Chains A and B, each alone.
Chain A
């Protein structure tokens, strides 16, 4: 509790009539004065106003307050504001507590003013009890090194590295292959401009090699990561050699890979001329298709959007067909595959369809789809395809198209036309399978090393799907490109620049304040059982010489270690056992 006795100031807010209209605020003020350790109490119309904040600062000085309780709205809105006020008045901001008597009292007990007032008193009493046990905390400051590591040398990795290097930061660009470029090396043209990949790849790679701040390490992988934001110690491996580097931030741009169907799926690998879209790109790029094919059938969503059998509306179909259809569906083997939509395959298929039509105008190009997903401004692209006579046929996806070969070696695709309700047999020369982008196996290893979680679809998980798409739960580690989910080239570039921006902000500031909410281990009690180390999602505990220690920079203050420690040797700062139990007791004691 500190050397001096607590002198608590209690400020009860009317919040206009939001609180005052239900809770009898003057009564609560009067009650607060009777509580132990309360040296001063007042009410404010709007405590968060300038006047209210000034009032707090004056009272701290005038009445020598060493703790402040504000009873008003939820701490999730104004706690930082009130904490700053305390700080300005010379009071450590962690000696501040809020009592939520609006969202959790006046606003939900509008028709019970008597009981709401009693409840408000209880809540204030609980806050005062906790405040009695609060301790001043310092937010540790971390030095941030101005060096960055980019893992992965595809278009996203190179973009992120260049963006940072151009700002003057030293960047290590690590690529496991012997060449930079990633998936773009295999692709032919990019939609919607139909530019050759080399038009983007070559200038980028040239810029990378020329930049003096950028050190490219090809044929290199990351084998170990230790440390925390601003101070990562990374071990790089190249065949047998190991090298340790120290960086301030890490951008993960390890990308994704194209799903290759297992042999036999849609007869891939069994009959010739059954390829993936990526393989088609390579064939077109290398001019391998010499003879104009009669017909090319592309099948969408191969190995994607699997696992759910969606409801079918069979009302429109002729009865006889319905029965056969149903039987087939029920008998159909559930295809193995990935549950999500890979976003870019529709565009990619259309791109290749247009390319084929431009090269072989007489060839019949059919795209079998369940849904066509051209998004953003690509609707025009879809129109262009149709103008170029590319045929789009919606088939019943639940019935896996069957591929057979006739006596002359022609491939036959059998599927069900969803709009007409009829079985169709399509003889063709090529079958192109549109397969999704899937996570690389390396992601699991990286995820564990970096303590970045993997989401349900297997990609690295961003900190918040909406609000923080390039951050991860670990400070200082960012995601760029397809590592966090399927993306096309423009999206990859944008995400890479965003990740670089986030990383550069951190490094430019050179310092960072971390949470004061960290765990502290009492070494006398600790027996080195290692439970804290095992359960911490952030790797914030480590054992040395049979005792546990906390890495404050990694601790996020969740308190699980404190609750689990068999010796009760861990204190969770600012949410200690004493503080919580004081609230429990205060909540349940009779009103004095």
Chain B
């Protein structure tokens, strides 16, 4: 029996002024490329909230492509730089979730680069084909983490200019992202399966029990979780 070849679905966010125009130019010049990409137009790559990318993976996109103006050419001055700084966080988040970070790609395309756009689609489609279908890892925890103030604020402060050195900022901010994603994983787990012990949560989320305990203590402090009975010499935790 013939096995249907895997045809990935790739979502591409294109900025109105440069990359969307570049895609149009590919059309005007009749440069052909595979049919796997679906383009979403935004005014600027700076518009792209990390949650858009994560929702795309949640909904089954096999690959996500973000395109914008070349550095220095952004129609809105620095939107593309902002996207670039966010990008590092989204890539790390994918790594935490067990989604191959190569499924997400950021490229700069100017309005005059029709051929480059077509080549990019060909190349991306091929690469995603090789990676195979989206592992459909649950991204809800990451989506919730990127919606919450703590992580958004930490990502945001680098856009306006850091007051501490970059190394330290990177270490602190990535740790905050990891903590927030792991905490959301715990919350999602409790919400879906009911109150659980630290041992059960550790097994379900693959986070070490020591770290789960640290997260539970922090979540208790802000009133998000609380004890809900005992089971097998441990407390059950519920979402308050």
Chain A contacts to B: CB under 8 angstroms: 74-76, 100, 102-105, 107-112, 115-116, 118-119, 122-123, 126, 453, 456, 473, 517, 527, 529, 531, 534-535, 537, 556-560, 562-568, 572, 575, 577, 580-581, 583-585, 587-589
Given A109-B32, A564-B159, A581-B55, check contact A575 B43 (CB 8 Å): yes
Which chain B residues lie closer than 8 Å to A535 at the CB level? 78, 82, 156, 159-160
Q: Is B167 an interface residue (CB 8 A)?
A: no
Q: By the criterion CB–CB under 8 Å, are B30 and A110 in contact?
A: yes
Which chain A residues lie closer than 8 Å to B118 at the CB level? 108
Q: By the criterion CB–CB under 8 Å, are A584 and B59 in contact?
A: yes
Given A102-B27, A453-B77, A584-B52, check contact A122 B38 (CB 8 Å): yes
Q: In whole angstroms, what is the CA distance A126 to B59 when docked?
A: 14
Which chain A residues lie closer than 8 Å to B27 at the CB level? 74, 102-105, 107-108
The residue in chain B whose Cβ has the minimal distance to the Cβ of A557 is: B43
Given A568-B152, A575-B43, A584-B59, check contact A108 B31 (CB 8 Å): yes
Q: By the criterion CB–CB under 8 Å, are A588 and B39 in contact?
A: no
Which chain B residues lie closer than 8 Å to A534 at the CB level? 159-161
Most chain B beta-carbon neighbours within 10 Å: one of A123, A517, A557: A557
Q: By the criterion CB–CB under 8 Å, are A588 and B61 in contact?
A: yes
Which chain B residues lie closer than 8 Å to A566 at the CB level? 149-150, 152-153, 156
Q: By the criterion CB–CB under 8 Å, are B43 and A564 in contact?
A: no
Q: In whole angstroms, what is the CA distance A556 to B46 when docked?
A: 13
Given A537-B78, A559-B44, A577-B49, check contact A115 B35 (CB 8 Å): yes
Q: By the criterion CB–CB under 8 Å, are B32 and A556 in contact?
A: no
Q: In whole angstroms, what is the CA distance A529 to B42 when docked?
A: 26
Which chain A residues lie closer than 8 Å to B21 at the CB level? 76
The residue in chain A whose Cβ has the minimal distance to the Cβ of B15 is: A558
Given A122-B38, A558-B44, A584-B40, check contact A108 B26 (CB 8 Å): yes
Q: Is B191 an interface residue (CB 8 A)?
A: no
CB distance from B176 to the nearest CB of A (A): 12
The residue in chain A whose Cβ has the minimal distance to the Cβ of B146 is: A568
Q: By the criterion CB–CB under 8 Å, are B35 and A580 in contact?
A: no
- Which listed residue (B48, B149, B161) contacts A567, Cβ 8 A? B149
Which chain A residues lie closer than 8 Å to B16 at the CB level? 76
Given A108-B31, A119-B35, check contact A560 B79 (CB 8 Å): yes
Which chain A residues lie closer than 8 Å to B207 at the CB level? none
Return 26 A-B CB contacts under 8 Å, by A number.
A74-B20, A74-B24, A75-B41, A76-B20, A100-B41, A102-B27, A103-B25, A111-B32, A527-B149, A529-B156, A531-B156, A531-B159, A537-B78, A557-B43, A558-B46, A558-B75, A560-B44, A560-B46, A560-B76, A563-B86, A567-B152, A568-B152, A577-B51, A577-B52, A580-B42, A584-B56
From 1 to 38 in chain B, residues with beta carbon under 8 angstroms from any chain A beta carbon are 9, 11, 16, 20-21, 23-28, 30-33, 35, 38
CB distance from B127 to the nearest CB of A (A): 19
From 126 to 140 in chain B, residues with beta carbon under 8 angstroms from any chain A beta carbon are none
CB distance from B102 to the nearest CB of A (A): 19
The residue in chain B whose Cβ has the minimal distance to the Cβ of A451 is: B77
Q: Is B60 an interface residue (CB 8 A)?
A: yes
Most chain A beta-carbon neighbours within 10 Å: one of B9, B24, B39, B150: B24
Q: By the criterion CB–CB under 8 Å, are A563 and B35 in contact?
A: no
Known pairs A115-B35, A564-B159 / 19 extra A-B pairs, C-beta < 8 Å: A75-B41, A100-B24, A103-B23, A527-B149, A531-B153, A535-B156, A537-B76, A559-B46, A563-B47, A563-B82, A564-B82, A565-B152, A566-B152, A580-B52, A587-B11, A587-B38, A588-B11, A588-B56, A588-B61
- Which listed residue (B40, B72, B153) contacts A529, Cβ 8 A? B153
Q: In whole angstroms, what is the CA distance A587 to B36 when docked?
A: 11
Q: Is B157 an interface residue (CB 8 A)?
A: yes
Closest 8 CB pairs of A and B: A103-B27, A559-B47, A534-B160, A558-B76, A560-B46, A537-B77, A566-B153, A107-B27
Q: In whole angstroms, what is the CA distance A564 to B31 when docked?
A: 36
Which chain B residues lie closer than 8 Å to A110 at the CB level? 30, 32
The interface on chain B, measured as residues whose beta carbon lies within 8 A of the other chain's beta carbons, has a size of 54
Which chain A residues lie closer than 8 Å to B214 at the CB level? none
Q: In whole angstroms, what is the CA distance A407 to B123 when docked?
A: 71
Which chain A residues lie closer than 8 Å to B30 at the CB level? 107-108, 110
Q: In whole angstroms, what is the CA distance A562 to B82 when docked?
A: 12
Q: In whole angstroms, what is the CA distance A585 to B49 when docked?
A: 15
Given A109-B35, A531-B156, A535-B159, check contact A588 B49 (CB 8 Å): no
- Which listed residue (B11, B24, B44) contacts A584, Cβ 8 A? B11
Most chain A beta-carbon neighbours within 10 Å: one of B38, B48, B61, B149: B38
- Which listed residue (B51, B60, B78, B157) contacts A531, Cβ 8 A? B157
CB distance from A24 to the nearest CB of B (A): 14
CB distance from B40 to the nearest CB of A (A): 5
Which chain B residues lie closer than 8 Å to A572 at the CB level? 47
Which chain A residues lie closer than 8 Å to B24 at the CB level? 74, 76, 100, 103-104
- Which listed residue (B9, B56, B152) contacts A564, Cβ 8 A? B152
Q: In whole angstroms, what is the CA distance A103 to B23 when docked?
A: 7
Which chain B residues lie closer than 8 Å to A584 at the CB level? 11, 40, 52, 55-56, 59, 61
CB distance from A533 to the nearest CB of B (A): 9
Most chain B beta-carbon neighbours within 10 Å: one of A527, A564, A581: A564
Which chain A residues lie closer than 8 Å to B157 at the CB level? 531
Q: By the criterion CB–CB under 8 Å, are B156 and A564 in contact?
A: yes
Q: In whole angstroms, what is the CA distance A107 to B72 when docked?
A: 30
Q: By the criterion CB–CB under 8 Å, are A108 and B47 in contact?
A: no
Given A575-B42, A575-B47, check contact A560 B152 (CB 8 Å): no
Which chain A residues lie closer than 8 Å to B39 at the CB level? 100, 104
Q: In whole angstroms, what is the CA distance A556 to B60 when docked?
A: 33
The residue in chain B whose Cβ has the minimal distance to the Cβ of A107 is: B27
CB distance from B226 to the nearest CB of A (A): 25
Which chain A residues lie closer than 8 Å to B40 at the CB level? 126, 580, 583-584, 587
The residue in chain B whose Cβ has the minimal distance to the Cβ of A568 is: B147
Which chain B residues lie closer than 8 Å to A563 at the CB level? 46-49, 82, 86
The residue in chain A whose Cβ has the minimal distance to the Cβ of B30 is: A107
Q: In whole angstroms, what is the CA distance A112 to B35 when docked?
A: 8
Q: By the criterion CB–CB under 8 Å, are B60 and A588 in contact?
A: yes
Which chain A residues lie closer than 8 Å to B51 at the CB level? 577
Which chain A residues lie closer than 8 Å to B147 at the CB level? 568
CB distance from B177 to the nearest CB of A (A): 14
Q: In whole angstroms, what is the CA distance A347 to B9 when docked?
A: 60
Q: By the criterion CB–CB under 8 Å, are B47 and A558 in contact?
A: yes
The residue in chain B whose Cβ has the minimal distance to the Cβ of A585 is: B59
Q: By the criterion CB–CB under 8 Å, are B160 and A531 in contact?
A: yes
